[in-house]
Amino acid sequence: MVDQALVSQVAAALRHARRILIITGAGLSADSGLPTYRGVGGLYNDKTADGLPIEMALSGPMLRRDPALCWKYIAQLAKACLGAQPNEAHYAIAELQRKKPECWVLTQNVDGYHRAAGSPPERLIEIHGQLAPVYCQSCAAQDPQWTANLDRPLPPLCSRCGGILRPSVVLFEEMLPELALETLHQEMAKGFDAVLSIGTTASFPYIHEPLFRTRVCGGFTAEINLTPTDQSPQMDAFLQCRAVHVMSELVSHI
Ligand SMILES: [Zn+2]
């Protein structure tokens, strides 16, 4: 049961805010039926079928050393994402962005569901990249077809030059995309009146910083999560529930 007074408080803060940042993580897409990953790993509680931690199987070094093995797990991730779809909360966030032209989304998710739900790409920062399309590591050609056939031999090869394809996802041990980071820093410099963190338990600087800066400047911060995180005590409001149970109602008050 969600506390209605808290919902009203968050709705009022978002209504009065001009610049808003919504931060989303695996918990949001879990409501679509996707497995939650640490960074991109909870599908694998311990070791993968190959006896490796997922952080090693899905890493940049593994893509170079054993592309077929790395691709086995990329393809599993892609199948899970293709087998599900955006949920009510993704649509409510896109609706909020229509109502609030300076509302941004910063997501750790690589499933592309924010775009699918109608979030404008120019106000969407996919900090861990996206699964589709894939591109050739040798000639940079994009292959828009690969999602149509995830059962082809792995690793998938470039139809133009035979190079090994990869998704523009940030694998473990890889750097965050520069453009996405730059955009985030530019928007953070302008400041946010309100930040809402949804379904993320991660403690990366790019999540802490906008929350911290907004708090210091007197802005409003709130969190929606099934379980409290180390950030929860600092929030102006903490809604302990699934985003899918509360986002539509929240946005209906704005
Ligand atoms: Zn190529």
Least confident range of 108-117, 151-160, 166-175, 235-244: 151-160
Using DSSP bridges, classify how beta strands 129-136 and 142-143 pair: parallel, antiparallel or unpaired: antiparallel
Least confident range of 58-62, 79-83, 164-168, 223-227: 79-83
The interaxial angle of helices 178-190 and 205-216, nearest 10 deg, is: 10
Mean pLDDT of 226-245: 93
Mean pLDDT of 199-207: 84
Q: Is 116 in a helix, a strand, or coil?
A: helix
Rg for the chain, CA atoms, rounded:
19
The CATH architecture assigned to 36-83+132-169 reads: 2-Layer Sandwich (3.30)
Predicted pLDDT at 207: 87
> What would the pLDDT profile of 216-230 be if each residue is shown by its tens digit?
999 999 999 998 998
Q: What is the 152 CA–ligand 1 centroid distance (Å)? A: 17
Whether pLDDT at 154 is above 70: yes
Predicted pLDDT at 3: 87
Least confident range of 50-54, 107-111, 233-237: 50-54
- Percent of the chain exceeding pLDDT 70 equals 94
Residue 145 dihedral angles phi and psi, to the nearest 5°: -85, -20
Higher pLDDT residue, 151 or 118?
118
The CATH architecture assigned to 1-34+86-128+175-254 reads: 3-Layer(aba) Sandwich (3.40)
> What would the pLDDT profile of 111-145 be if each residue is shown by its tens digit?
999 999 999 999 999 999 988 889 999 999 998 87
Q: How confident is the model at residue 39 (pLDDT cuts 50, 70, 90)?
A: very low
**Domain residue spans in the chain?**
1-34+86-128+175-254, 36-83+132-169
| Average pLDDT of the chain to the nearest whole number | 90
Catalytic positions, written as ranges: 128
Q: What is the 182 CA–ligand 1 centroid distance (Å)? A: 28
Residue with tokens 């995830």: 150
Q: What is the 164 CA–ligand 1 centroid distance (Å)? A: 7
> What would the pLDDT profile of 64-96 be if each residue is shown by its tens digit?
999 999 999 899 888 888 888 999 999 999 999
Dig out the tokens for 187 from the structure.
């928007």
Q: What is the 155 CA–ligand 1 centroid distance (Å)? A: 13
Helix (H) or strand (E) holding 197: strand 194-198
Dig out the tokens for 165 from the structure.
């394809």
Contact 73, 58 (CB under 8 A): yes
Contact 62, 40 (CB under 8 A): no
Q: What is the 158 CA–ligand 1 centroid distance (Å)? A: 5
Q: What is the 142 CA–ligand 1 centroid distance (Å)? A: 8
Contact 201, 227 (CB under 8 A): yes
